């Protein structure tokens, strides 16, 4: 699938920019080159002057250095020192040995032709591999110092501001985002013929989610999704409940919340705003109207602007398949808060970067 023509750089390489500076070892760089070498080359072999892996490696390095357009990528490669060009595999004239870096039009044509799904999968695989070797759990659990909190993956969609496909429609991506290290583990295009719900399972199909917690907003509180996560992926879920599931929402809302004590509190101040959050959790022994759900949550968020503003209160409900002994209130609060943070850690970066 060709990259949208209005996008400054490919969304797959954009993941590198979203992740920020990457302290990659020589072995990491070689692994990335190997990932690029396995990609199919869409170009006509007649007249090809630059190796596919070399072009992609140069573009990736330029993006990590701050390039945000094809012109900037071409300029960065042309200005790179000799040792960098050598590492990237930049072409040299066989007689004069002068460097012959690719220009902007060469890079642009490649990204207009390349299978961006395959490129995206290669970059995701490389980033996920680095996360496996260098990452850690999301943080200590309130269950005690001997048990780390389960790692969590947020699933959420976003229309890329300013990006259009060849039909002139906005580009909408559904992404799987690691709470702990901020990596995009996978992403898929949501075109006008489908929606986020139908792309949920294909997005997660090839990810190792064993014993991880998948968080998602109310759109993905679907019975098929829950069954897929528990029975096929051996994962867990924390899902927001709203009126798109009217029977489930009514059941959760009718629980005796006034009789249930607050089990976790948080308070934040910053950017001229104050926010207070409380969490109540209850085990539903008779079973909720949702596959594998055993705990329900009520989250109250109180927000005010300045020290004298009026408090605004929002009440949100959620469910999880994890029992109380595996998911104490502090862990549940951290997973929910971590999911909401995707707005700043991924969506905002995409809007600003692109």
The answer on pLDDT for 222 being more than 60 is yes
**Vertex 36 angle, CA 97 and 6, to 5°:** 95
CB 123 within 8 Å of CB 183:
no
Q: Is the residue at 229 inside a domain?
A: yes
User: Is 281 inside any structural domain?
Assistant: yes
Whether residue 101 is found in the same domain as residue 216: no
For residues 146 and 112, membership in a common domain is answered with: no
pLDDT at site 189:
82
Position 223 scores a pLDDT of 96
Band (280; pLDDT cuts 50, 70, 90)? very high
Residue by residue, DSSP assigns 47-61 as: T--S-HHHHHHHHHH
Does one domain contain both 190 and 294? yes
Sign of CA dihedral 167, 170, 174, 179: positive
φ/ψ of 20, rounded to 5, equals 85, -170
Quick one: 56 and 156 in the same domain? no
Three-state secondary structure call for residue 151: coil
Q: Is residue 323 scored above 70 in pLDDT?
A: yes
Q: Are both 74 and 170 inside the same structural domain?
A: no
Which domain CATH number covers 303? 3.90.350
Phi, psi angle pair for 129, to nearest 5°: -65, -40
Last residue of a domain, one of 72, 103, 130: 130
Same domain, 141 and 103: no
Domain count, the chain: 2
Question: How confident is residue 210, by pLDDT bands cut at 50, 70 and 90?
Answer: very high
Q: Under DSSP, is residue 123 helix (H, G, I), strand (E, B) or coil? A: helix
Residue 5 falls inside a structural domain: no
| Cα four-point dihedral sign 3, 4, 6, 12 | negative
Q: Is residue 16 part of a domain?
A: yes
CA dihedral 245, 246, 252, 256 (to 10 degrees): 170
The single residue listed with the structure tokens 């290669």 is 122
| Residue that finishes a domain, picked among 65, 99, 130 | 130
Based on the domain organization, do 178 and 192 belong to the same domain? yes
Cα–Cα distance, 159 to 164 (Å, whole number)? 10
Runs of H (alpha helix) within 158-245: 196-204, 223-227
| pLDDT above 80 for 204 | yes
What is the domain extent for residue 78?
11-130
Pair (157, 60) in one structural domain: no
- 69 or 306, which is more confident: 69
| 177 close to 185: Cβ distance less than 8 angstroms | yes
pLDDT at 146: 47
Query: Of all residues in the chain, what percent carry a pLDDT higher than 70?
Result: 79
pLDDT of residue 6: 40
On whether residue 256 sits in a domain, the answer given is yes
Residue 344 falls within a domain, yes or no?
yes
Convert the pLDDT of each residue in 224-257 to its tens digit: 999 999 999 999 999 999 999 999 999 999 999 9
- The Cα 294–Cα 289 span in angstroms is 10
Task: Write the pLDDT tens digit of every residue in 106-156.
Answer: 999 998 888 877 888 888 777 777 665 554 456 566 554 445 789 999 998
Q: Which residue among 100, 130, 160 closes a domain? A: 130
Per-residue pLDDT tens over the stretch 255-268: 999 999 999 999 98
Residues 28 and 134: their CA atoms lie apart, in Å, by 11
pTM of the model: 0.75
């Amino acid at each position: 699938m060709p990259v949208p023509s209005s996008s400054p750089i490919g969304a797959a390489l954009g993941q590198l920019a979203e992740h920020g500076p990457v302290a990659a070892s020589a072995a990491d760089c070689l692994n990335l080159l190997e990932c690029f070498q396995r990609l199919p080359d869409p170009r006509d072999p007649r007249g090809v002057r630059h190796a596919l892996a070399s072009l992609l490696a140069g573009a990736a390095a330029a993006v990590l250095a701050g390039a945000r357009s094809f012109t900037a990528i071409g300029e960065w490669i042309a200005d790179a020192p000799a040792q960098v060009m050598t590492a990237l595999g930049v072409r040299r004239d066989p007689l004069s040995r002068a460097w012959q870096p690719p220009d902007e039009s060469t890079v642009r044509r490649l990204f207009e032709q390349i299978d961006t799904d395959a490129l995206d999968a290669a970059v995701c695989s490389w980033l996920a591999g680095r996360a496996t070797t260098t990452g850690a759990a999301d943080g200590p659990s309130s269950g005690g110092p001997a048990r780390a909190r389960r790692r969590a993956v947020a699933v959420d969609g976003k229309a890329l501001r300013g990006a259009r496909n060849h039909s002139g429609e906005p580009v909408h991506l559904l992404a799987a985002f690691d709470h702990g290290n901020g990596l995009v583990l996978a992403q898929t295009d949501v075109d006008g013929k489908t929606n986020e719900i139908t792309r949920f399972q294909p997005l997660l199909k090839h990810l190792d989610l064993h014993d991880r917690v998948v968080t998602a907003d109310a759109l993905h509180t679907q019975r098929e999704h829950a069954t897929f996560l528990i029975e096929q992926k051996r994962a867990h879920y924390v899902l927001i409940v709203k009126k798109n599931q009217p029977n489930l929402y009514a059941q959760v809302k009718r629980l005796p919340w006034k009789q249930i004590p607050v089990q976790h509190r948080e308070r934040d101040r910053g950017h001229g705003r104050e926010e207070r959050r409380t969490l109540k959790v209850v085990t539903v022994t008779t079973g909720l109207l949702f596959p594998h759900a055993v705990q329900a949550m009520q989250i109250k968020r109180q927000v005010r602007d300045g020290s004298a503003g009026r408090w605004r209160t929002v009440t949100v409900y959620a469910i999880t398949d994890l029992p109380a002994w595996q998911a104490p209130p502090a862990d549940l609060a951290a997973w929910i808060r971590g999911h909401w943070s995707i707005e700043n850690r991924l969506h905002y970066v995409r809007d600003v970067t692109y």
